[in-house]
Amino acid sequence: MNEVVTATIITVSAVGLLSAVILYWASQKFKVFEDPRIDEVESELPAANCGGCGFPGCRNFAEACVKADELDDLFCPVGGNETMARVAKVLGREVEEKDKQVAVIRCNGAPQFRKKTTDYDGAANCTIMANLYSGDTACQYGCLGLGECVDSCNFDAMYMDPETDLPVVLEDKCTACGACVEACPKDIIELRPVGKKSRRIFVSCISQDKGGPAKKACSVACIGCSLCFKECKYDAITIENFLSYIDPVKCVLCRKCVSVCPTDAIWEVNLPARKIKSVEKQDSNNEGVDLVKAAKENTENKEDKAI
């Protein structure tokens, strides 16, 4: 019996030792080297794992930064320029600062402008509703109002306005991660530069219907009339598929396009109230001209009577 126990112990020990040797050899043979800088870069990231950088998570983004020759095409929207500067310092590289961006809602179809034509009775989800039909209004492009974009935001930077049934973006909380852009099945949300003093001008509509049907479906829709296009002197406005678009890079915030838009489809954000002094001045000038003209006519009449 003792011999059997001894043989068993020796056999098990030998198998265990052999297995350990094989495992050690395999671990050394197929060992994957990981750059230690990946951990350093990851420690500088905000750990939001929002996907706004285009990668599944911060770890993947850190790996991409380490492997990339340049950082110009890589950007962490949550951390911004300060985070990217620290990442560049870890890697011993340089990176250019990029303009901060914010999400904007390109739809102004509140109930008073866009009447409902049907009643939706289904799951409270924009994607499901969009897959079932074009929407509960005559505009097939507008916001569905079920707040899927709000649910996708991890930074509490959006909420649904109960009066307009439209999402509202809180600029001070928005990180431009793009989650709401991806979540919206109607593509009404766009990331645009914050702009100087947080001032922006954009067309709050994405309807591609012709002028008549677009205006009938929503009274504040862009009708592609081209008045804004003709008024802009900076080539900042283009028109495609009966829809105007304002290039945020070329736009100088002159606001002339806003004045000529017949449907108020162009929004201006954080811009001061318009001054009406020029109009008052023009009216006073016209009054002055009328007075001069009247005085001249009186003088002529007196001369005629004298003759």
Of 265, 215, 236, 243, residue with least CA distance to 105: 265
Break the chain down into helix, strand, coil percent, rounded to 5.
Answer: 40, 10, 50
Q: Specify which residues 103 forms β-bridges with.
A: 191
Return the domain boundaries, the chain.
Answer: 37-91, 101-269
Q: Specify which residues 201 forms β-bridges with.
A: 268
State the Cα–Cα distance between residues 84 and 76, nearest whole angstrom. Answer: 7
Contact call for residues 226 and 239 (beta carbons, < 8 A): yes
**What pLDDT was estimated at residue 29?**
72
Q: Which amino acid is at 114?
A: R
CATH topology classification for 101-269: Alpha-Beta Plaits (3.30.70)
The Cβ of residue 193 has, within 10 Å, a number of other Cβ atoms equal to 15
Which tokens belong to 16? Answer: 């265990």
Rounded to the nearest angstrom, the gap between the alpha carbon of residue 149 and the centroid of all alpha carbons in its chain is 12
State the Cα–Cα distance between residues 241 and 208, nearest whole angstrom. Answer: 5
Q: What pTM was estimated for this model as a whole?
A: 0.75
CATH topology classification for 37-91: 3-methyladenine DNA Glycosylase II; Chain A, domain 3 (1.10.15)
How does pLDDT run along the chain (307 residues), one tens digit per residue?
A: 677 778 788 888 888 888 888 888 877 777 666 788 999 999 999 998 888 888 989 999 999 999 998 898 899 999 999 999 999 999 998 888 888 999 999 999 999 999 999 999 999 999 999 999 989 999 999 999 999 999 999 999 999 999 999 999 999 999 999 999 999 999 999 999 999 899 999 999 999 999 999 999 999 999 999 999 999 999 999 999 999 999 999 999 999 999 999 999 999 999 998 775 444 444 444 444 343 344 444 434 433 433 3
